[in-house]
Structures are given as C-alpha cells and as structure tokens.
Structure 1
C-alpha cells in the first residue's frame, strides 16, 4: 500500500508575479499536482465522470506555510505524505523543496490538504460517500517517521 509520493517540476514564467516570485496560489496547485500524480501512481482515477454519476474530491481544508520564495526556473520536489485516511476523506501533508543541486535541496513551504470523496447529486449538490475498497486497499497513512522527517530532508 502507498502512503507517499514525490513529484518534480520546473517553475514556469506564468506562475510568477511582477517581482519574478511564484504567486502564493500556485503552491496550492503544486499540492494538487502531487495528489494527481500520487493517484496515477497507485492506479486510482482522481475523478470519475459519466452521465448521471460524477465523483470527485473537493477540498474542505487547505493551508500552507511559506519559508522561502520560489522563482522562475527553479526546480522543485513536491512531497506528499498521507496523514490520515477516514471513512470518507483523506488528509495529506505536503513539503515543497527547491533543488539546489543534484543532492541538495531546501524546504520552501509546508502545507496540508483534506479532501472528501463526493458524488454530484441530481440537484447539483455534493454528497459525501464512503471511500471504495479499491482506494482503501491502495492508500494508507504514512508512518509517523515519514510525517516527522526533518525539514531539510
């Protein structure tokens, strides 16, 4: 079973502001990118959509603490660790690192996100639903040592 994943990407010009710094909203996009990559790596559809049956993972809580700015061209690692798996939700911890060389990196942000599995009802509302067996069989909470790693790892 899986409990962590790391995605790597390069900062694009369009993700920066007039000062050349990454706009804060993009950190939340990076978290979503890591979540998508994690689901893909474990073989689970992040969104299930067919007429009359739309299932997805809306966010019910997100936060991010920023330590250093990112700039255009920086290479980053986005580390996702599963904090908790409940009947209807998954909580993640994220750490975003700037790569400073082949073996060196520094943590620039730390965040968390809680998502709830929902189905779109006929009236357009969202109804939370239980996580299916295929999710519970593939995703588990990370060991405490993964969640408590030193910030410069």
Structure 2
C-alpha cells in the first residue's frame, strides 16, 4: 500500500464548506501519479529527440467514488492507494481517503474509490494503442498489490 496526503483548499469546497464530490476524482488521479513517481516511473515519459518513438500512457476506462463522511476546508486527508487488480494491460487502483489524525485509530473514513486504467502506446498524432504492461513496469506495480 502507498500513502500520500492532500490538504483541502478553499477551491475544493462547495457553498456549504464541504468538499465537492467531484474533487475526489482529481485527488485519486494525483495519488495515482504520486504512486507512479514513487516507483521511479514517469506518468507520461518525454519522447526526447525522436517524436515518432512510442511512449506509454494510462487512459482511464472506469472511475467510482463512494462517500462516507464530509471533509472541509483545510482538513488534511491521507490517501491510501493499493492495486486491486493487475491485468495483462489494465490496472485497477483502490483509494481510501481518511481525515488525518495523530493517532491512526482516530482517523475518520471520508471516501473510497477506484480507477481502472489501460496501458497504451501513445503514437504520433495522439493515436492510442492498447498494449500489455511491460514486465519491468508490472514488477514495480506489483509491490502495491492488495494482498
């Protein structure tokens, strides 16, 4: 499991001062990117000198979020990320959002969600082609499989 944090900003809240439901989706994406970077991988590698060279990208094919309690402006959220399923060409992530606390047993569950991504080669002109997850990437991702 991987853990990252995010402080709730004013722009994340609705008129009632509660985090707007839609904000959890970009927070899941940022947490996924934090996990990927922690493995020494790039979210979207630079093509370098050869723009015709294929590069991997991970478009989303499904996203869910279930809300358990409210979060408000300036709350510090802890986001636990695990991989539920590591398929041939897809990754399904699980996210659990917690209100941070000095005592782990006092954390409050805020939301839980999933993202499913598919490994694709990004070709010139923005063309995507589904491809198997490279073994080197699979090995790194498997460190975060939910066991």
Is the TM-score greater than 0.5?
yes
Deviation string 1:97-139 (CA, Å, 9 cap, x unpaired) is 112x311211011111110111223453321111112211212
8 Å CA contact retained: 1:87, 1:130? yes
Cα deviation, residue 43, structure 1: 1.2
C-alpha separation between the residues in 1 aligned to 2:94 and 2:66?
12
Consecutive unaligned residues in structure 2, runs of 5 or more: none
C-alpha separation between the residues in 2 aligned to 1:85 and 1:31?
17
Counterpart in the other structure of 1:146: none
Deviation string 1:12-54 (CA, Å, 9 cap, x unpaired) is 1111122211111110111111111111111111212312234
Cα deviation, residue 55, structure 1: 2.5
Aligned match for 1:5, one of 2, 5, 27: 2
8 Å CA contact retained: 1:49, 1:55? no
C-alpha separation between the residues in 2 aligned to 1:24 and 1:54?
33
Instruction: Please identify runs of 4+ aligned residues in structure 1 that moved more than 6 A.
Output: none
Give the root-mean-square deviation of aligned CA atoms. Answer: 1.4
Question: TM-score, normalization: structure 2?
Answer: 0.87
The answer to whether 1:102 aligns with 2:106 is no
Task: Report SS of the residue matched to 1:87.
Answer: coil
C-alpha separation between the residues in 2 aligned to 1:97 and 1:29?
16
Question: TM-score, normalization: structure 1?
Answer: 0.84
Deviation string 1:56-91 (CA, Å, 9 cap, x unpaired) is 111001100011121101110011011111111111
Counterpart in the other structure of 2:59: 58
Counterpart in the other structure of 1:137: 139
Task: Report SS of the residue matched to 1:76.
Answer: strand
Q: Provide the aligned length of Structure 1 versus Structure 2.
A: 139
Query: Which range moves more in the overlay, 9-18 or 114-123?
Result: 114-123
